[in-house]
Amino acid sequence: MSQCGTFNEEVSPQYTLAFSALGATIYYLRSCLVERPLLALKRFKYFNTTELIVRGQEFPKEGQRLVMDNITIANLEILQSSEGSVEGSLLFVLDKCVTPAGKRLLRQWLVAPLCQVKAINNRLDA
């Protein structure tokens, strides 16, 4: 980054959205007056949200599921409502499972949803 705050190199087309998100993040950090200490660390890594490892086990195919962090799961009220109870959450609405194994599988599906249309349609047709 040059002194005036612009990049001197072109961004690869596959990283255009990531680069735009970085710009928006820097803008937000500036508004909070914390950009200097954080940007000085120079620790930027590409995070692929479709690769996921859960409890040491990798999902069968890379790019099949979306990774959501805890804050996203909480904001979307997937596992519990904003009041902290299961009642009112997406899990509560969808959970019609009879067995504990079915309940666990539904929970996994909700916190790591499929990304590929073909995989989603296969699940719906099953």
pLDDT in 10s for each residue of the chain, 126 residues: 444 445 556 777 777 877 788 888 888 888 887 777 777 777 777 666 555 455 555 544 555 778 788 888 899 999 999 998 999 999 999 999 999 999 999 998 998 888 888 888 888 898
- Which amino acid would we find at residue 109? W
29, 35 Cβ separation under 8 angstroms: yes
Beta-bridged to residue 54, according to DSSP, are 57
8 token code pair: 């001197």
Looking at residue 49, what is its pLDDT? 56
Question: What is the DSSP secondary-structure string of 57-70?
Answer: EE-SSTTSB----H
CB 75 within 8 Å of CB 89: no
pLDDT of residue 53: 52
Residue 35 burial (CB count, 10 A): 15
Domains and CATH numbers, the chain: 1-46 (no CATH), 53-125 (1.10.1420.10)
Structure confidence at residue 58 (pLDDT): 52
pLDDT of residue 90: 95
Q: Residue 1: its pLDDT value, please?
A: 43
Helices (H) and strands (E) in the chain, counts: 6, 2
